[in-house]
Each structure stands twice: as C-alpha cells, then as structure tokens.
Structure 1
C-alpha cells in the first residue's frame, strides 16, 4: 500500500509552486498539509536528495530545481517511496501448503505488471498537470497556507 508520504510530497511541491516568491517554513507547509513539521522536513530531505527541490538548512523556504512541466509524478513517487511500498508479500507462507508454497511466485508477475502500469501512467503526468488542476479548484490563491 502506498504511504501518505507520496501525497504529502506532492502537496509540498504544489505549495512551493504556488508561492515561489513567498518562502514557506516547514511549519507553514505542515499547517496546510495537516501534519507535523518533522514529516515535512524529512519529506523535503528526500525531495532534495532526489534533486527536485533546493533547500538551505536554517533558512525558511524551498525552490523547485526545474520547471513544473519537467517534474513527473513518477519522479516524485520514486523520491519518497520504494517500489516495495506498493505491493508486498507476506513473509512466511506455509511451505507445507501447496498454495502457501507457490503463492508468491504466482503473485510476483501480477504485482510487477501492476507496478509497471502505474509507473507508465505516472511518467506521463507532470507536476504542472497537478498544479494546473489545483489552480482551477482554488477560489482565491492568496489564501494559501
């Protein structure tokens, strides 16, 4: 199951995109997202490590490293989650049971194809697409955070 960290990461990037001249602290971002600032800081660290944002320790605010249209949702996914987070096998099926002994092999190809399909779709959606959709949903952008 995909953790909410992915949605948090997209939320952070969207806030940065909407307020490029207005530096947002991790507390500001957390207030919009509804999470603890520590989660925001750790997620920003992953986004920075992936080369999606530029941050400076001790200084409020982050900047995107590339235009929105050049950041895919797949890049964001890979920045904050591991493919193992999508589907996982149960660790100890009963080897004495014919189903338990073989279920993992039967599920591997299903999970692999599902992962590939999701990744192909996320590779075609950019952060610009998400931000554009958001801009049509927001009544007054000046009321952000």
Structure 2
C-alpha cells in the first residue's frame, strides 16, 4: 500500500507547526521511516510547489498558508496523477461471456462517480483541517 499521501500530511504538518528547522532526518524520526523516503516525498511536494527550501540551508517552509493547501493538491502531488483513480478494472475479461462483454461498462460509471466524490471531498479539506484535528486530539489526550 502506498503511504506517500499520509507521510506528506505528516511532513507538512510538522513543517507548518515546528518552531525548529527540520531536516529530512528529523522528519524521518517522527514519521518512523528512513530519511531517503522522506526526501523522495519532499521532492514530490517541492515539485508541486507546496514547500520550498533554500540552497545551502537545511529545513523547509510551506509555500502558502495551510488554509490554502487542499488535501486534493497534496494527494495529486504525492501520487503524481492529475485525478484520483482508486479502482482498477481487470483486464482480459472473456468477450464470449455476456458478463465479460459488458462488465467494464457496468462498473466504470460507478467507479468514476465515487472517485469524483472523493476528489470533491479532498478539495474541501485543507492542511489546516489536519492541523486542527491534531491539536484537538492532543488536547483530549492530556485530560
């Protein structure tokens, strides 16, 4: 299973909320993975214009306010796609079978509808929503 999306959310949240300069090693420790994987995800986020870094200095900054970064933008950046495609249709269905002949056409509109709804939902959620959730959960755990 691909975890780049959730790792990107973790990284972006840390960059947004940390008072310290975070290296890829520091991010890797928090995420629980290795620094090379973090650098791979960071490269995707930089290519999408979501974060910036300054040459010769360690650390990263968000390129815009967390309220302006949609979860859809982050998802598309980390998956390197231009739209969500959750469901793959199997290949080589038997065209001599009545079901095999028409199953792709029967599934395609349903899959497309679900994927479009997910895109709409992610477009309405922002990095700021993740950050707010983080603080709410942290506050509850201190009680």
TM-score by length of 2: 0.86
1:45 deviates by 0.7
Deviations 1:84-121 (A, max 9, x none): 65221222222232222221111111111001100111
Deviations 1:22-74 (A, max 9, x none): 11111111111112212111111111111100024564211000001100111
Separation in 2 of the partners of 1:76 and 1:3? Answer: 14
Contact 2:13 2:131 in 1 (8 A): yes
Higher relative contact order (CA 8 A, sep 6+): 1
Alignment match, 2:52: 54
Contact 1:94 1:100 in 2 (8 A): yes
Alignment match, 2:129: 129
- RMSD (Å) for aligned C-alpha atoms: 1.8
Structure 1 position 26 matched with structure 2 position 24: yes
- Which consecutive residues of structure 1, in runs of 5 or more, have no partner in the other structure? 140-145
Alignment match, 1:64: 62
Contact 2:84 2:119 in 1 (8 A): no
Give the aligned length. Answer: 137
Q: Assess, with a 3 A threshold, how the Cα gap between structure 1 residues 105 and 124 changes in structure 2: closer, same or farther.
A: same
Contact 1:3 1:85 in 2 (8 A): no
Alignment match, 2:5: 6
Separation in 1 of the partners of 2:91 and 2:34? Answer: 32
Of stretches 2-11 and 45-54 in structure 1, the one that deviates more from structure 2 is: 2-11
Separation in 2 of the partners of 1:32 and 1:74? Answer: 23
Separation in 2 of the partners of 1:68 and 1:46? Answer: 17
- Which consecutive residues of structure 2, in runs of 5 or more, have no partner in the other structure? none
Q: Assess, with a 3 A threshold, how the Cα gap between structure 1 residues 90 and 55 changes in structure 2: closer, same or farther.
A: farther
